[in-house]
Amino acid sequence: MLQLRRGRVDLASRVNLTRYLLRDLWAVSAKLLDQLRNALRSWEDKGEGRRGVGNVRGDAATRPPIVDIEPKGQAVVRLGDSLRIMCTMGSPLQICRVEIHGESSMILRPNQSSDDGIEYYGEGTNKGQCGVHIFKVKEQHNGIFRCALTPEDRRVESNASVNIVVAKPPNNPELHTSLGHYGRYEYQKGQKLEISCSASGGRPAANVSLYLDDEPLGNDERPIIYEDSNMNEVSIAVQNASRSLDWTDNSKTLRCIANHIALDKPKESKMQLQVYYPPQPQPVIEHFGYVIGQKGTVNVTVYANPRPRFLWRVNGEKIEEGRPDESNRLETSTAVELGNGAWLVVLTIDSVQKSDTQKEYILEAHNKEGAYEYRIVLSTSPEPAATTTTTITTTTTTTTITTYIHHVT
Domain ranges of the chain: 68-167, 174-276, 285-378
The whole-number pLDDT of residue 387 equals 52
The strand ranges marked E within 100-234 are: 106-107, 118-121, 129-134, 143-151, 158-167, 174-177, 186-188, 192-202, 207-212, 215-217, 224-227
Per-residue model confidence as pLDDT tens digits over 230-274: 655 678 999 999 999 999 999 999 999 999 999 999 999 999 999
Instruction: Answer for the pair 196, 176: CB distance below 8 angstroms, yes or no.
Output: yes
pTM score, whole prediction: 0.70
The whole-number pLDDT of residue 223 equals 84
Could you say which architecture CATH assigns to the domain 285-378? Answer: Sandwich (2.60)
DSSP string spanning 337-355?
EEETTEEEEEEEESS--GG
The whole-number pLDDT of residue 386 equals 63
Residues 6 or more apart whose Cβ sits within 8 Å of residue 176 = 195, 196, 197, 198
Angle between helices 48-62 and 11-45 (to 10 degrees): 70
Instruction: Answer for the pair 99, 105: CB distance below 8 angstroms, yes or no.
Output: yes
Pick the CATH number of 68-167 from 3.40.50.11540, 2.60.40.10, 3.40.50.620, 3.40.50.1360: 2.60.40.10
The whole-number pLDDT of residue 130 equals 97
Q: Do domains 174-276 and 285-378 have the same CATH topology?
A: yes
Please report, in tens digits, the pLDDT of each residue of the chain (409 residues total).
Answer: 333 333 333 434 443 434 444 455 555 455 565 666 665 555 544 444 444 444 444 555 567 789 999 999 999 999 999 999 999 999 999 999 999 999 999 999 999 988 899 999 999 999 999 999 999 999 999 999 999 999 998 889 999 999 999 999 999 999 999 999 887 789 999 999 999 999 999 999 999 999 999 999 987 778 888 877 665 567 899 999 999 999 999 999 999 999 999 999 999 999 999 999 999 999 999 999 999 999 999 999 999 999 999 999 999 999 999 999 999 999 999 999 999 999 999 999 999 999 999 999 999 999 999 999 999 999 999 888 765 544 444 333 333 333 333 333 3
Query: b vs e for 308-319, b when ≥16 Cβ sit within 10 Å of the residue's Cβ?
Result: bebbbebeeeeb
What is the CATH code for 174-276? 2.60.40.10
Length of the chain: 409
The whole-number pLDDT of residue 8 equals 37
> What CA–CA distance (Å, rounded) separates 369 from 367?
5
